Amino acid sequence: MLHPRALDRLLAVVPDVVSALAFAGLWLSPLAFGPSGVRNAMLVMLVEFVLIHASAFLGAAAFAEGATKLRKVAMLGGFALLYLGFIAAFASAFDATWPFIAFGWLLLGKLRVIFHRAGPDGTSGGFAAMWALSALAYLAAVFATMLLPLPRLGLGEAVRPLLDLPGSGLWVDQPHRVVAAGMLYFGLLAWAKWHALRVQAR
């Protein structure tokens, strides 16, 4: 039977591990999740960028000193409407509606933070550390996979026309880079969260 702390660490990293494995699977077999698999993976990375950026402002609103809970909710609502514009653009470009659900989940998490402070001393330290970790991991994954030579594996030129990728750019022309970035990003998050929780448990 797992120790409660070990179970907590496991539950914290499972979503990121599953995501990293899904991206790795797409790199090896791009049609494993259907023709839209790589397209959805690209959308995940684009939405994740918006969510990381939004988290900084939403977190600042949630931990605003001297602000009432009602004012915090109003500030969060204002920032949410602003970022919904970006999400709407992605949803339109990719002809998908689930980015709105993902963003709604993020907003729900921020509303919960208002009533449950992130740090043990009632500060935003824990939230700030997690935001910085996510931002650094994302930038490292994206730039590393943009600059380093990477094998295409299953994402060869013969497969690319079958993926129905919208727009243009490096990720569209070389989709193996976006799935590699997703695999690396979520893998880094899983490792960092496991390590951080392990240190805290000592």
What is the share, in percent, of the chain residues with pLDDT greater than 70? 72
Overall pTM > 0.85: no
**Whether the Cβ atoms of residue 31 and residue 162 lie closer than 8 Å to each other:** yes
**Whether the Cβ atoms of residue 131 and residue 56 lie closer than 8 Å to each other:** yes
- Name the most confidently modeled range: 10-14, 24-28, 37-41: 24-28
> Given this model, what pLDDT does residue 118 score?
47
7-25 confidence digits (pLDDT tens): 656 666 788 888 899 999 9
Annotated domain spans of the chain:
4-201
**Whether the Cβ atoms of residue 153 and residue 29 lie closer than 8 Å to each other:** no
> Given this model, what pLDDT does residue 40 score?
85
48-70 confidence digits (pLDDT tens): 888 787 777 666 666 666 667 77
| Cα–Cα distance for residue pair 94/167, rounded to 1 Å | 10
- In whole angstroms, what separates CA 14 from the centre of its chain? 14
CA distances from 165 to 35, 53, 172 (A): 10, 24, 6
Which residue in 188, 183, 189 sits closest to 21, CA to CA? 183
Torsion of CA 139, 145, 148, 154, to 10 degrees: 170
92-108 confidence digits (pLDDT tens): 877 878 778 777 766 66
